[in-house]
Structure 1
């Protein structure tokens, strides 16, 4: 399975296993064991690289000081063979919680002194939490055993960004965050927000050879790691990025360290601190050697998602160099304290991104003064308003603020990205296209209607340094206006037709074809079929042809990039190359939102990139690998994983069947279609039954025939049937002597005796004769719609259905196995063709459908305008008058007593408007 499937499987199982343990706590256990597995396998890999074999690994123990010292010196820690994760697994039922306790204690005393800041106390949360995994040692042992077996198959050697471990780790952190309620904000920034911040930072740092990144509220470390991954696409070589992290909560601090180590980052490039960022700032020094260890911290990028509006103590902070130039954040809200802390630590050419609550943009007093100073000192580069309910544990609207120490421009870019998202369960989620649009807008500093605006410092001053986004970007929907004249007379306001100006500019002759002016301000629709006229327009045809022309060689471009060079290309760079190519092809095409096209590509890229990762890690032959298809099934009340057939590691069975086994698929579908037809024929026959017959032949729900009742009824019908032939044959059956039978045969030439095979004596056996009689009766036709007709038809259908189901099952099993062998025997050229079908064809089909969507939107908008004014008030009034007149006429025809007639007279006056 790919990394997405593996991660989902582990999450599903882990979530069930945690039982009543809080998600926020259970994450520490499963992630801690994953980390221990990683460290164990890293040590085994190192030992084997120095000549150790599986045969001699059991000899690795603490008493061998030379080996232990060598391992600690090279990887920073030492784990004896008896304490390895794989040894736990191999113990089977002999494994116990004591094995974990002993191993973790041993790990703590076998850390190299130069790596203590990275590893010391890293399993503290796991050690103290073991007691919560059960009430007894036996129950704890069982829980831990289940947990370690759950994660034992995660590959730990990330290659070429394949990084299954890192992906699973991040996936689990996000899932636990989603289930942790308000506690989620303590340790996790949603992946999409991380990507957004990462791409903004990466663009700023793209020309540097070495980069240092700092997150002062690091949480799980995922935000910082995403920044590093985005930056790495511009930086050549390994270990060119140094990570600084600080986190207040001990268990979350341990997550940061684990996450960084498991991403393959060298220990020398990891500097972490467990402490209060606002109270224990860098510069950092060892109290035993303050001069020799003094280390002021200035980095290329600071990124953070601090706790929102957290109380803090600003006492005695007036002279703190972080705040001295700007002011102190109020005691009840530390938002600006975190911001100024971050700003202080970036180099003159650095950049910072910080997530904050929306209130920091407009709250007054101390915060208003800080905003003023930040603007006047030209530090704020951009403010991005995010959708509400995008962070786990809080629904408040948030922003990302981008700041720099030195800027050439003095304006501020405001972006209202609050409308761009999709619903994802209870939360909102940024799409790939939303992220791309925001990042491009920041990079290009664009003014986009209802989305972004570059605002001068003077305008901000005029607004008294209030940075509330709606003051500068109006993203509200236009109010719908109803034209009174058009509502009265049913004409169309030209002003509302003009609102489709982008279409009339793209299709110069189309407007005149659709509308006819009735005055300088109003018009009418000039055609009966709007859709037909639009789609047959020469302008629209030219638009469609221009679009297709720009993408004519797109397939060749993708084939060369994705398939011909699949094993050599950098995955991150491939995505950027394809994105740029799509944007270039759309540059001269009107009406098409390039970000909608990008979203189509981004959706396909998820599967494409996952496949490429597998191929680059395992080699091209991974495309020809078939894996067991493991599913969870219940047995004896317990869930267990069992194999249910096979599946291609990269190539789906269904696609291979459609492409290379079409005849087999066709035969199978014919049988399946016939099975569907039988269901329809059953329904038709049920409709022919009388109510009494339904009671007898159908089930309790009256929706299906009961086979036993059908067979019994059919038997009775057959027994009552008699013909001259059947009577003759039944007489023959009574005869017992061979001579009598021979004579009988000679006397009855009207019987087609040749339909049966004679015995040696020249007579015919009872079995054959009875079958002959049954065949004669079965050939008899009944009146259509009669009970006999229905029962016979149903019985035939039941028999046919049984044969079909058996045939379909056999054909499906044969096709499944044939597909397996077909995939395993594919030629490289066949694989390339199938990869094209899987990766390229769907993307091209989606992109080629863009022009049709553009035209559909135009048709919908014109239809809406026509419906808006299709019923005018003049017509309604006329219809009312006619109805009243008709009603008055009917009243005249009524008869009644004196008082009835007086009442009707008054009603006529009302109808007449008196």
Structure 2
């Protein structure tokens, strides 16, 4: 399994295991055990690398002072052999919850003093919460045993595995957050928001050799880690990144430390604190050594997603250096208290990003004063309005504020990114293209219509320091206008044609080919086939030709980057290389949205990057491997994981079948197509039945499918009722018993084709032969096509055919499946490379090359909409109404009736004439 499949499997199983335990609590158990496994595996790896034999490892005990000291000094802690995660797995039925409690207690005792701040109390949440995993020791033991077996396959013993472990850990945190409701905000910033903040910060810091990052409300630590991972793409030595984290809640604080440690970050680069950020600012020194540890903590980047609008105590904080310059936030809304705290800890050349509710942009009172001081102090660099419903547990609109201590410019970039998202379940998610567009706008500080604008300090002053985003950026779609004249008399307003100016600029003379001058400022459509006219226009053809020219060698470029260099390319940096190339090719191509192209790249890169990780980790032969396809099935009321065939380790089975086994694949598809046709034929017959026929026994209770057994029984009844002259004669013959009578009957009845039966030695026909021929005659009887009997006969034939084809499909699919497995396992290097090209390069290249067609299709639809908008005028409708009224009035003149009928008709005529 790749990391996504493994993460999904663990989540699905864990979610079932947690039963009635809240997701917010259960995460502490599973994540805690993953961390303990990580520490155990890390120590085992260290011991093996230092030449300890398995026998020596199994002899590790706490009483061995010399070995304990050695391990603690090099690893930071010591775990006895009996307490190792791998030992728990080997214990089988001997494993007990007490093994866990004893091990966690021992861990706290055996932390190296130099690592106390990183590890001390890190398992407290897990240790104190074990009682919730069951009502008895036995039930707790089973719950824990299930958990540790669930996570045993997570790899943790190599550099590449840190990425897999980190991915799974992040994935589980995100999934638990999605199920934790309002409590999710306590420990999780959505991954997409985290990436957005990471890219903004990295764009500012990428040229530095050493970086300090601080998150004062760290939660699970994922936000800070994402910043570090993104910065690491641009820095020579990622060990030059130092992480500072502060978190109020003990269990969440433990998540921060676990997450940081498991990413392979050196303990010396992890500085954490469990305290109230607003009440207990970062310590200036260690009380045990105040002189040498004095550190006011000024960092290169501060990132935070603090709790929104919570209460705090501003009492006696007027002189607090964090707030003295700007003012105190109101006690019912601590938003600006967090912001000012972050700003205080920023170096003069640093950058900070903070997520806050939109109220901070326009609320008055103390907050209005703070906002004024921040603007006049020139600290607010950018404001990014996010889509609503983007955070778990709250649907309120939020924004990211970007601030700096010192800035060269004095304006504020306002970005309204609230419209760019994709709906996923109940939440809105930023797409990769949305993030890219925002980051580009913020990094380059560019104005984009209906998206971003640099706003001068003078304009902000005129608005009394109100930073409400709609005041400066209008991202709303304009309401559709209707031209009064065109609505009455027809024609297309030239003003609405002009709204498509970007197309007319890109396609000179196309407008003149589509429209002719009409009355005044109106035009008329000049062609019958809009699509054909646009497609065949020379400027449109030139546009497509230019695009194809720009991407003519794109396949070759991708092949060089991804195939030729697959073993050595830097996966974390490669997407930037590819996107830069795509953007460069699009630089002089009008109309194409480069962010749509970027999204196509990102969608494919999500697949390709995982494959590349596997190949770089396992070697090229991973391409030629298959894995058991494990599925969960119910057996005897219990769910169990069983193998259901095979799947390609990297290469999908269907890709191999379409390319290397095409004959078998197409033959199977044809049979599957026939099954689909049979299904359609069933539906057609059902639709043709009367309600009475549909309610008969041949259909199921809902009347939407045939019942095979009942169709067979009905067919027997139908055949039994068939009675031709030949059938009557045969039945009469069957009633005879004497040989002489039978021979006489045969001679007298030429209405029976006796040669269709085999006669006995005495010239007569047996009962068996007669009955067989009777059945043959009945089944050969042809009913008129529209008769119920004909339809049932057709259904019966379809049922027989369907059964045969299904059996063939099952057998052929099984044979093709095994042949595919054998084909993958015996691939030549050339075939493997060709398949990788088919998987990685062709889909991206083809989707990119469809972009011009999409642009042209949009233009055609816009022109069609304009032509249809005013095609039916009010004048024409009014004229048609008058004509209809006149015709109806004339018809009334011809009607006759009694006195009251005629009075009624006369009044109706008066109304029709508008009198």
Do the structures match in fold with TM over 0.5?
yes
Change (3 A) 1:781 1:577: same
Alignment of 1:74-473 (within 5 A): 74-160=74-160, 163-473=163-473
Equivalent of 1:709 in 692, 708, 713: 713
Residues 848-868 of structure 1: per-residue CA shift (max 9 Å, x gap): 111111111112222222232
Q: Work out the CA distance in 2 between the residues paired with 1:525 and 1:196.
A: 46
Q: Work out the CA distance in 2 between the residues paired with 1:248 and 1:688.
A: 70
CA displacement at 1:912 relative to structure 2:
2.4
Q: Which residue of 1 aligns with 2:59?
A: 59
For the pair 1:827 / 2:828, whether they are aligned, the reply is yes
CA displacement at 1:67 relative to structure 2:
1.5
Q: Which residue of 2 aligns with 1:872?
A: 873
Q: Is the 8 A contact 1:157 1:163 kept in 2?
A: no
What SS does the aligned partner of 2:347 have?
strand
CA displacement at 1:666 relative to structure 2:
2.4
What SS does the aligned partner of 1:644 have?
strand
CA displacement at 1:10 relative to structure 2:
1.1
Equivalent of 2:782 in 768, 781, 784: 784
Q: Is the 8 A contact 2:734 2:770 kept in 1?
A: no
Change (3 A) 1:141 1:497: same
CA displacement at 1:305 relative to structure 2:
0.7
Q: Is the 8 A contact 1:721 1:777 kept in 2?
A: no
CA displacement at 1:684 relative to structure 2:
7.5
Q: Work out the CA distance in 2 between the residues paired with 1:512 and 1:428.
A: 43
Q: Which residue of 1 aligns with 2:37?
A: 37
CA displacement at 1:896 relative to structure 2:
3.2
CA displacement at 1:708 relative to structure 2:
5.2
Question: What TM-score do you get using the length of structure 2 for normalisation?
Answer: 0.91
CA RMSD of aligned residues (A): 3.1
Q: Is the 8 A contact 1:162 1:614 kept in 2?
A: no
Change (3 A) 1:730 1:270: same
What SS does the aligned partner of 2:293 have?
coil
Alignment of 1:505-904 (within 5 A): 505-679=505-679, 701=703, 703-706=706-709, 709=713, 778=776, 782-785=780-783, 800-904=801-905
Change (3 A) 1:216 1:492: same
CA displacement at 1:542 relative to structure 2:
1.2
Q: Work out the CA distance in 1 between the residues paired with 2:291 and 2:124.
A: 31
Change (3 A) 1:396 1:795: closer
Q: Work out the CA distance in 1 between the residues paired with 2:161 and 2:102.
A: 34
Q: Is the 8 A contact 2:579 2:598 kept in 1?
A: yes
Q: Work out the CA distance in 1 between the residues paired with 2:876 and 2:515.
A: 21
Q: Is the 8 A contact 1:710 1:794 kept in 2?
A: no
Q: Work out the CA distance in 1 between the residues paired with 2:282 and 2:240.
A: 22
Q: Which residue of 2 aligns with 1:496?
A: 496
What SS does the aligned partner of 1:73 have?
helix
CA displacement at 1:670 relative to structure 2:
3.5
CA displacement at 1:174 relative to structure 2:
0.8
| Number of equivalenced pairs | 891
Residues 636-657 of structure 1: per-residue CA shift (max 9 Å, x gap): 1111111101101111111111
Q: Is the 8 A contact 1:782 1:789 kept in 2?
A: no
Q: Work out the CA distance in 2 between the residues paired with 1:705 and 1:623.
A: 46
Change (3 A) 1:716 1:494: closer
Q: Which residue of 2 aligns with 1:759?
A: none
What SS does the aligned partner of 1:9 have?
helix
Change (3 A) 1:488 1:807: closer
Q: Work out the CA distance in 2 between the residues paired with 1:867 and 1:343.
A: 57
Change (3 A) 1:345 1:883: same
Change (3 A) 1:779 1:668: farther
Q: Work out the CA distance in 2 between the residues paired with 1:483 and 1:60.
A: 87
Change (3 A) 1:300 1:697: closer
Q: Work out the CA distance in 2 between the residues paired with 1:902 and 1:852.
A: 65
Change (3 A) 1:794 1:315: closer
Change (3 A) 1:284 1:863: same
What SS does the aligned partner of 2:271 have?
strand
Q: Which residue of 2 aligns with 1:739?
A: none
Q: Is the 8 A contact 1:22 1:180 kept in 2?
A: yes
Q: Is the 8 A contact 1:696 1:709 kept in 2?
A: no
Q: Work out the CA distance in 2 between the residues paired with 1:10 and 1:95.
A: 21
CA displacement at 1:164 relative to structure 2:
1.2
Change (3 A) 1:623 1:331: same
What SS does the aligned partner of 1:163 have?
helix
Residues 428-462 of structure 1: per-residue CA shift (max 9 Å, x gap): 11110010000000111101111111112222222
Residues 536-559 of structure 1: per-residue CA shift (max 9 Å, x gap): 222211111111111111000001
Q: Work out the CA distance in 2 between the residues paired with 1:520 and 1:576.
A: 52
Q: Work out the CA distance in 2 between the residues paired with 1:528 and 1:133.
A: 73
Query: Structure 2 stretches of 5 or more lacking a match?
Result: 740-753
Q: After alignment, is 678-687 or 154-163 more displaced?
A: 678-687
What SS does the aligned partner of 1:413 have?
strand
Q: Work out the CA distance in 1 between the residues paired with 2:109 and 2:613.
A: 38
CA displacement at 1:331 relative to structure 2:
1.7
Change (3 A) 1:513 1:87: same
Query: Structure 1 stretches of 5 or more lacking a match?
Result: 736-749, 757-762
What SS does the aligned partner of 1:602 have?
helix
What SS does the aligned partner of 2:381 have?
strand
Q: Which residue of 2 aligns with 1:479?
A: 479
